[in-house]
Amino acid sequence: MFRVLPLAALLLVPLSLAYAQGADVAFGSMRQDSDLPVEVSADQLEVNQSDGTALYTGDVVIGQGEMRLAAPRVLVVYGESAGRIERLEATGGVTLVSGEDAAEADRADYDIDAGTVVMTGNVLLTQGDNALTSNRLVVDLDGGTAQMDGRVRTVLQPGGPGSE
């Protein structure tokens, strides 16, 4: 397995290693406190009291601290304790932004208690001029790290500061 922390270290790896089965990368400019309040805005909201869910649709934007998640559809699943969000399931094309880093995927599942976001399907992670793609990205918000799994691919940008 190919492991790197932080992404800038990729510049030291030969291009032939750019294809790998997994990669660890830093994610976000700071650690995210998953205990912070979750703010949601959307065009529509449907609440289902019988199964403890709320479905937000239409230009959904979720914020928690410095993190932003946007998607066309987000299902909020509440825990047994009153008003406690257990997880968020975002679908239809998801964008997750934390600091200077951004990730896009078909789907994202945010486990609030674990402080993890699992993004699947056509994952694209951008960090400055660098981009990585994979099948799956697991972001540890509390640790500020991410693990990419599946077929990981990147294009390295040579010529950083001092390369002339």
The pTM assigned to this predicted structure is 0.76
Q: Which residue has the tokens 């649709």?
A: 57
Q: Please give the share of the chain, as a percent, with pLDDT higher than 90.
A: 43
Contacts of 117 (CB under 8 A, 6+ apart): 69, 96, 108, 109, 110, 111, 138, 139, 141
Report the amino acid identity of residue 64.
Answer: Q
Residue 144's pLDDT band (boundaries 50, 70, 90)? confident
**Range of 58-62, 100-104, 124-128 with top mean pLDDT:** 58-62
* pLDDT at residue 164, as a whole number: 52
* pLDDT at residue 17, as a whole number: 34
Average pLDDT rounded to a whole number, residues 140-163:
78
Average pLDDT rounded to a whole number, residues 28-42:
72
| Full set of structural domains in the chain with CATH | 18-155 (2.60.450.10)
* pLDDT at residue 74, as a whole number: 97
Provide the mean pLDDT of the chain. 79
Average pLDDT rounded to a whole number, residues 63-80:
91
Cα–Cα–Cα angle for 146, 26, 8, nearest 5°?
135
Cα–Cα–Cα angle for 90, 91, 96, nearest 5°?
55
Residue 20's pLDDT band (boundaries 50, 70, 90)? very low
* pLDDT at residue 79, as a whole number: 86
